[in-house]
Amino acid sequence: MRSLTIRRPDDWHLHLRDGAMMEGVIGDTSRHFARAIIMPNLVPPVVTTADARAYRERIVNAIPDGDTFEPLMTLYLTEGTSPDDLEEGKASGLITAVKLYPAGATTNSHGGVRDFEKAMPALERMAKIGLPLCVHGEVTTPDVDIFDREKVFIDTVLDPLRKRLPELKVTMEHVTTSDGIDYIKSAESNLAGSITTHHLIINRNAILVGGIRPHYYCLPVAKRESHRLALRAAATSGDRRFFLGTDSAPHIDPLKECGCGCAGIYTSINTMSCLAHVFEQDNALDRLEAFASLNGPAWYGLPANDETITLVRRDEPVDFPAKIETGAGTVTVFDPMFPLHWDVA
């Protein structure tokens, strides 16, 4: 196959940051993606509908001329989140979902949830009104190994929550383990999962073999090869419960290349090329549209995009920049460690 036309894709998990960084990276998303669920972990975080409205306005003002792109806004769940504000945000059409960060789980998550009982009024209201919960599915208990955090979260947090509120619609974001894949598959309803570009390509060796390579460090951290293969099997299967959420997360190089580097991998610029490579390797190009363009909208109750994009397989590798320059500083682009021949025409 030399070309493939699919519905224009969406990104169901995206970090745009704010200010100069957002202005520097948003074009890499709006060029290819029609919509994206925007993460709320700014400093300070997006915790109210008023915060989300103001942030959305800043995003819209930064979209490059000629691009059409719709930011889908989320709120950062705290122990003091107002159930009434959530309901008003959903009713207004502004709020698409609410994001759960266990406190300390990832970048700017220190204001996340520690005591789930305190967040229960908000979660109960979300279940009642059909507002989805997007979860960063890791525990942060110090005695739990970082490679086991997702499994322990499923066992000790997510499964009890879903049994308590079975009508709550939950997205397990950036699933990284076969345990997560199996748990989603076992659910009868109200559970789906997003999978990132980079977790389909790298395992934990990419971070550690041959020296510490900080630009492959993310949270949740990449796991064993057996988990990566489980993610690929799920993504390329066509199963409607799995869809693309890049978790593209730009950090300037000095914050990655330091003694305590930030977690995050920047993939927006080359995601579609990477995905086409993965799906071609797995003889599943005919299912790329489901993963990138159809399953996500169906899960969130939105129509698939009418527009299309065409991917073309070039004879020579596509030349992506190793780094991009933003007003906030230099950001390193994800290197999949193999040549990319698929390009968005």
**Is the CB of residue 28 less than 8 Å from the CB of residue 334?**
no
Q: Is 255 exposed, middle or buried (0-12, 13-18, 19+ CB in 10 A)?
A: middle
- Residue 336 CA, chain-centre distance (Å), reads 18
> In terms of Cα–Cα distance, which of 43, 38, 116 is closest to 77?
116
Give me the DSSP letters along 278-320: HHHHTT-GGGHHIIIIIHHHHHHT-PPPS-EEEEEE-SSPP--
Catalytic residue of the set 182, 247, 335, 343: 247
For residue 188, how many other CB atoms are within 10 A of its CB?
Answer: 6
Tokens encoding 325: 């320059």
Give residue for tokens 């309901």.
Answer: 87
- Residue 62 CA, chain-centre distance (Å), reads 20
Tokens encoding 33: 């993606």
Q: How far apart are CA 180 and CA 200, in angstroms?
A: 14
Q: Any residues with CB less than 8 A from the CB of 133 and at least 6 apart, and which?
A: 77, 97, 98, 99, 100, 123, 126, 168, 169, 170, 171
**Is the CB of residue 113 less than 8 Å from the CB of residue 119?**
yes
Q: Is 247 a catalytic residue?
A: yes
Give residue for tokens 């999949």.
Answer: 336
Tokens encoding 59: 């995003």
> In terms of Cα–Cα distance, which of 263, 207, 307 is closest to 39?
263
Kindly list the catalytic residues: 247
